[in-house]
Amino acid sequence: MIDRNDVLDKAIAIESLMSILITLKFFPLHGAKIDFLEIMMNDESATTNYKRSVLMKCYPEAKGIDEAIRSVFYIRNVFAHSGGLVFHPIDGSSPINLDPRKPGQDIDLEGKLKKFNRDYAVVNARLFEILQTTRIIIE
């Protein structure tokens, strides 16, 4: 059984790491400023794509995981927005997870989950490597 919440939780963790790294880039002497995180990075207009773009500019060493980050958040959106779109054929064949972007087509959630977990592991490890080279003080 697929745990949608696990996908969402892991994506939130990646987004939080990106926000912390961006904050540390602008406040290196003071560490992660909670007010900056809350006001700027957690504002609804600070999309994950925006944070990914800023992260790439702040940390060129993260460029190698750019596509993996995109993948994590694309798959996160698949799980967040299509989990309830299940069609049960009258003939009793397997249920179809309908793709909201391609009406009538099935989403391979198992395949997406495997890709998500692979990309998540790569992104999480690399972001933590970058974080370890940065001095952290939470104020």
Q: Extract the tokens encoding 51.
A: 């944070």
Three-state secondary-structure class, residue 89:
coil
Whether 25 is in a domain gets the answer: yes
Does a structural domain hold residue 125? Answer: yes
Whether 42 is covered by a domain: the verdict is yes
Reading across the β-sheet that carries 102-106, which strands appear in turn?
Answer: 86-87, 96-99, 102-106
> CA 80 to CA 27: how far, in whole Å?
33
Number of domains within the chain: 1
Q: Report yes or no on 48 lying in a domain.
A: yes
- Residue 138 counted as domain residue: no
Confirm whether 104 is domain-assigned. Answer: yes
pLDDT tens, position by position, 101-125: 777 677 888 889 999 999 999 999 9
Residue 115, judged by CB atoms within 10 A of its CB (0-12, 13-18, 19+), counts as middle
| pLDDT tens digit sequence for 70-84 | 999 999 998 887 655
First CA to last CA across the chain, in angstroms? 41
Q: Which residues, 6+ apart, have CB-to-CB distance to 132 below 8 Å?
A: none
User: Which pLDDT band holds residue 139 (cuts at 50, 70, 90)?
Assistant: very low
Asked if residue 139 is part of any domain, the answer here is no
Q: Could you tell me if residue 137 is inside a domain?
A: no
- The domain in which residue 69 lies consists of 4-132
Mean pLDDT of the chain: 85
